[in-house]
Every structure is written in structure tokens, then in C-alpha cells.
């Protein structure tokens, strides 16, 4: 099931590459690519990406609205 998220828009708005976001989040660039395509990910991965994009966990809905 595909899920809607704002990872790509936020990442591109911050002029970050997939590789840079992956490094900051501690995940692979392939994982970032899958998430941007709307594929599901674990809660821990979601947490890492939210924090790597500079949001707090309370602001998770800005990145992953569903």
C-alpha cells in the first residue's frame, strides 16, 4: 500500500540529496528512494527521517501526514 509523505518536497526544498539525507538519518539511499515513492517503512525509520530533516517528533505530521 502506497502512503503519501512530504519527504521529497522537504528534502529538495532544503537542497539535500538523497544520499545526504540517508547519511544524516542513518539509513541507505535506497531506503530514502523507497519512502519517497510511498512504500511503507518501519516506525524507527520514520523517526530517523523526521529528525534528520530537522523536525521534532511532535512535528511528524509535516513529513508523514497520514
Domains of the chain: 7-63 (1.10.260.40)
Contacts of residue 7, Cβ cutoff 8 Å, sequence gap at least 6: 21, 32, 35, 36, 49, 53, 63, 64
Q: What cell does 38 get?
A: 510511498
Question: For position 51, what pLDDT does the model report?
Answer: 98
Question: For position 1, what pLDDT does the model report?
Answer: 67
At 3, the pLDDT band (50, 70, 90 cuts) reads confident
Write down the pTM of the prediction: 0.92
Please state the length of the chain: 66
What confidence tens digit (pLDDT) does each residue in 33-66 have?
A: 999 999 999 999 999 999 999 999 999 999 999 7
Amino acid at each position: 500500500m502506497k502512503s503519501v509523505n512530504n519527504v521529497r518536497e522537504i528534502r529538495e526544498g532544503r537542497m539535500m540529496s538523497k544520499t545526504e539525507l540517508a547519511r544524516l538519518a542513518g539509513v541507505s539511499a535506497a531506503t530514502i528512494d523507497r519512502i519517497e515513492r510511498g512504500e511503507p517503512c518501519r516506525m524507527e525509520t520514520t523517526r530517523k527521517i523526521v529528525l534528520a530533516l530537522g523536525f521534532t517528533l511532535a512535528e511528524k505530521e509535516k513529513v508523514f501526514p497520514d
